[in-house]
Amino acid sequence: MEAIEELAVQPCTSSLYLRPFRLSYRQNGTKKFWDFMRTHDSVSILIFNTSRQCFVVVKQFRPAVYMCEIERHQPQVFENQDKESFPSLENPLPAVVGVTYELCAGIVDKPGLSLEEIACEEVLEECGYRVSIADLRRITSYRSGVGVTGSRQTLFYAEVNDQMRTSGGGGQAEEGELIEVVEIPLGESMKFAYDETFPKTMGVIFSFMWFHNNIAPKLPKK
């Protein structure tokens, strides 16, 4: 996962996932504009394995996170952002600075499938568990990236057990996905959520808190 080589930054003239726009408008009599990007909505799934009393999350390299760290340490890389060429990345940071812990998730890009069906597909592809729509509980939906994309993410909860695991997961290699499945023991989950040495999304923190408030009190006492 961390064998990242031949890094090169270049302008993005087209994308399958992002479309940049500028909105001009008048607010309370003042003329304004705002740059934003349209992208897909998404689903995410909090997975709890009842056989081993642990959360199942994923770990992967995120280029955007990596480049944020690059800019923090090597700001000169983005100084020529309006030009056609960027300086080469000399002495790049180790790839681990771009690796994050996340909920199992996926974009909503299949018009013929419901959010629940897409969520089931993502659980199988990324984490190797076969779940049905009946296994899903919708927690809530919320806006992410409100200053840039404004996309909607819908969060589900699914309980699984060892018998429901049919593969090792890892994502779809043919689409370039390289995902590591990670188990977080229930008893260590809140410590993990607030440990900044493990880079993670807000979805992980929020969903762990939701679980401890709504599911954990109903678990059988040991």
129-186 pLDDT tens trace? 999 999 999 999 999 889 999 999 999 999 999 999 999 988 777 766 689 999 999 9
pLDDT in tens, 32-60: 999 999 999 999 999 999 999 999 999 99
Token pair belonging to 35:
């740059």
In the chain, count of helices (H) and strands (E)?
4, 9
Residue 222 CA to residue 205 CA, distance in Å, equals 25
**Local confidence band at 12 (pLDDT 50, 70, 90 cut-offs):** confident
Domains of the chain, by residue range, sit at: 20-83+90-218
Whether pLDDT at 102 is above 80: yes
Of 182, 166, 187, 164, whose CA–CA distance to 53 is shortest?
A: 187
Q: Which residues, in sequence order, are CB contacts of 173 under 8 Å at separation 6+?
A: none
pLDDT of amino acid 89: 72
Structure confidence by residue, pLDDT tens digits, 56-99: 999 999 999 999 998 888 887 777 656 566 666 777 889 999 99
Q: What are the tokens at 15? A: 């994308």
**Which positions ≥6 away from 105 have C-beta within 8 Å?**
42, 43, 44, 45, 58, 122, 126, 153, 203
pLDDT in tens, 110-144: 999 999 999 999 999 999 999 999 999 999 999 98
Q: For 185-202, what is each residue's pLDDT tens digit?
A: 999 999 999 999 999 999
**20-83+90-218 maps to which CATH number?**
3.90.79.10
The confidence score (pLDDT) of residue 79 equals 73
Torsion angles phi and psi, residue 221, rounded to 5: -75, 135
Alpha-carbon distance of 181 to 103, in angstroms, equals: 10
Q: pTM to 2 decimals? A: 0.91
End-to-end C-alpha distance for the chain, whole angstroms: 38
Q: What is the pLDDT of residue 1?
A: 61
